[in-house]
Amino acid sequence: MAYRLDRAEPWDAVFRSPNREALEAALPGFVAARRWFGAKTRGIRAIRIREAIPILPSAALALLRVEYAEGAADLYALPIGFLAGPAARALQAEQPAAVIAGLSTDVDDGVLYDAAWDPAFCTALLEAIARQQRYAGADGDLVATASSAFSRLRGEDRDPLAPALLGVEQSNTSIRYGERLILKLYRRLEAGVNPDQEIGLFLTERAAFANTPAVAGVLEFRPRQAAAEPVTLALLQGFVPNRGDAWRYTLDALADYFAAARSAGAWAAALPQAPLGELVRGPIPADAERHIGAYLGSARLLGRRTAELHLALAADSGDPAFAAEPFTPDFQAYLRRSMRELVERTLRLLRARLAALPEPDQDDARRVLAHEPQIIGRFDALLARPIRALRMRIHGDYHLGQVLYTGDDFMIIDFEGEPARPLSERRMKRPPLQDVASMLRSFHYAAYAACFAQDGPPAAGLEAWARYWHLWVSMAYLQAYLAAADGAAFMPAADDLKLLLDIYLVEKAIYELGYELNNRPGWVKIPLQGILQTVQAG
């Protein structure tokens, strides 16, 4: 779409009527096509520009209210810049996905584009944090704040910190500054402090937890209305040199494991069927150490780092937002109700999609549906007795993709919580065993994803090798976690540990089933197997 402005008007007149309405009409097509837009199944009714805060003469940070045909609106961040002449033509040729629309003025022709692609805009955000600047908008201010760790993480001013937009765009946009800093620009926004900011600052400035990137600074939008909550826009952290995430590291290890498994042939030994909470008291067999090799040591290290994270989050800081709290009858009833609702909603979806599933998965789906009363009944144990455990702030969306592998250690990242949950739920205090169960499910995902990736049809019994790997890796991880967390106030008694681990494993697998039904039906076998294996072991 092209715009024509009077000669006397600068480019940013697009944020004022009547040009504003034309830009708003062009935005839905651009936003809906972006990977960071999280509501692709909802029809966009309209996009309204709530704020356009100037950062540079050629760029502003816009806050967009995205309205849908049904349901509540969302708030998104979109940096919008203007380029003209040869620079605009080069951007159109080299990064067409960054272009929002064409713009014509009496002075020049150009384009409006996502300014996150502009090194000058990225540098301006870093400098704003360094100088703790404030930018005025119509109804609020963009406020930049540096943490106590900023100077150490930034290094000497003479060190070049050229910005680079990272190529993998997900729900947020990441900008690296040299080898020292990385800025996470949040796209979907909510009123209130993002847990990534809140937990990151706590671990940096109060708990001194070394195995997460330290927070260097924050960008917030602070409305001027009385009692309105701030909105976290971006988080600046120390950059951690790494070899990729632990998911990729695990898949690489599994590729070697399955290569050896193909040579060994079908797996004949039966696996123990007891719940993991019972098996964890026993030893890992020597054969598992031999077959799985060094990755068992990695699982133990990750288990220890997970426990150390929880110990840091449980440190007595005097901050009510982080103080651990006991389970209450109301919280136990909330867990039971929310888990039952999740199962009922997901299994209704499974019934509706059953005929469309890949043929080999339909039998597993029918078996899961047949177990529905048993699955729902497991949650009744939450009301059977008081649970002697504490709940506290946790990671909330913990899996192998949320951990960086440095070559000899692990760094835990991304404390936002599950993106689909509202901010109030993501900040809720929960038992640390929820994180543990989520990581155990991630091991299961990795084992099956690697099994599916084998060239040609899997050899007979190859899936049994996947189950074998998952069981003993999970054991190694859980044993190391329990050893490192032993004696912590948040650790439940043995019976309660078994109960919580069991229900959170089931809940996570059910959540995964709903995700795969809606996004990757070809992967639905993994959560189906996870549900069946957990239920049968119990």
Two tokens at 513? 């089933």
Strand pairing of 215-223 and 59-68? Answer: unpaired
Q: Tens digit of pLDDT for each residue in 23-38? A: 999 999 999 999 899 8
Give the separation between CA 111 and CA 92, rounded to whole angstroms.
8
- The mean-pLDDT minimum among 210-224, 230-244, 511-525 falls in 511-525
Question: What value, to the nearest 5°, has the Cα angle with vertex 419 and ends 416 and 424?
Answer: 70
pLDDT at 7 over 60: no
In the three-class reduction of DSSP (H, G, I as helix; E, B as strand; rest coil), residue 274 is classed as coil
Instruction: Quote the strand ranges of 115-180, DSSP E.
Output: 134-136, 140-146, 163-165, 172-177
Two tokens at 68? 């849908």
Average of pLDDT values for 188-201?
95
Two tokens at 378? 């497991």
Give the separation between CA 47 and CA 62, rounded to whole angstroms.
12
pLDDT at 239 over 50: yes
Q: Tens digit of pLDDT for each residue in 287-322? A: 999 999 999 999 999 999 999 999 999 987 788 999
18 falls in which pLDDT band (50, 70, 90)? confident
Per the listing, tokens 């250690």 go with 409
Give the separation between CA 514 and CA 527, rounded to whole angstroms.
9
pLDDT of residue 167: 67
* Highest mean predicted confidence (pLDDT) among 8-17, 161-170, 341-350, 516-525: 341-350
pLDDT at 2 over 90: no
Please give the torsion angle defined by the CA atoms of residues 65, 68, 74 and 78, in that order, rounded to the nearest 10 degrees: -50
Average of pLDDT values for 359-385?
93
Is 91:98 a contact under the CB 8 Å cutoff?
yes
Asked if omega into 320 is within 30° of 0 (cis), the reply is: no
**C-beta neighbour count of 33 within 10 angstroms:** 10
**C-beta neighbour count of 6 within 10 angstroms:** 9
Q: Tens digit of pLDDT for each residue in 155-176? A: 887 677 999 998 655 789 999 9
Q: What is the mean pLDDT of the chain?
A: 91
pLDDT of residue 400: 98
Give the separation between CA 288 and CA 282, rounded to whole angstroms.
13
- Domain ranges for the chain, please list them: 4-117, 120-238, 272-327+387-492, 328-386+508-538
pLDDT of residue 170: 74
- The mean-pLDDT minimum among 27-41, 78-92, 162-176, 188-202 falls in 162-176
Nearest CA-CA partner of 113 in 79, 66, 164: 79
Nearest CA-CA partner of 139 in 12, 52, 202: 52
Please give the torsion angle defined by the CA atoms of residues 253, 255, 260 and 265, in that order, rounded to the nearest 10 degrees: 130
- The mean-pLDDT minimum among 7-11, 97-101, 253-257, 491-495 falls in 7-11
Give the separation between CA 536 and CA 133, rounded to whole angstroms.
58
Give the separation between CA 233 and CA 129, rounded to whole angstroms.
12
Q: Is 424 or 299 the better-scoring residue by pLDDT?
A: 299
Give the separation between CA 447 and CA 444, rounded to whole angstroms.
5
Average of pLDDT values for 406-435?
93
1 falls in which pLDDT band (50, 70, 90)? very low
Nearest CA-CA partner of 333 in 413, 407, 283, 387: 387
Give the separation between CA 534 and CA 538, rounded to whole angstroms.
6
pLDDT of residue 421: 83
Give the separation between CA 246 and CA 241, rounded to whole angstroms.
13
Instruction: Quote the strand ranges of 240-351, DSSP E.
Output: 325-326
Give the separation between CA 70 and CA 59, rounded to whole angstroms.
32
Please give the torsion angle defined by the CA atoms of residues 478, 480, 483 and 485, in that order, rounded to the nearest 10 degrees: -70
Beta bridge pairs of residue 102: 111
Two tokens at 226? 């009385």
115 falls in which pLDDT band (50, 70, 90)? very high
Q: Tens digit of pLDDT for each residue in 458-497? A: 555 788 899 999 999 999 999 999 999 999 999 999 999 9
Top-level CATH class of 272-327+387-492? alpha beta
Question: What value, to the nearest 5°, has the Cα angle with vertex 283 and ends 479 and 246?
Answer: 40
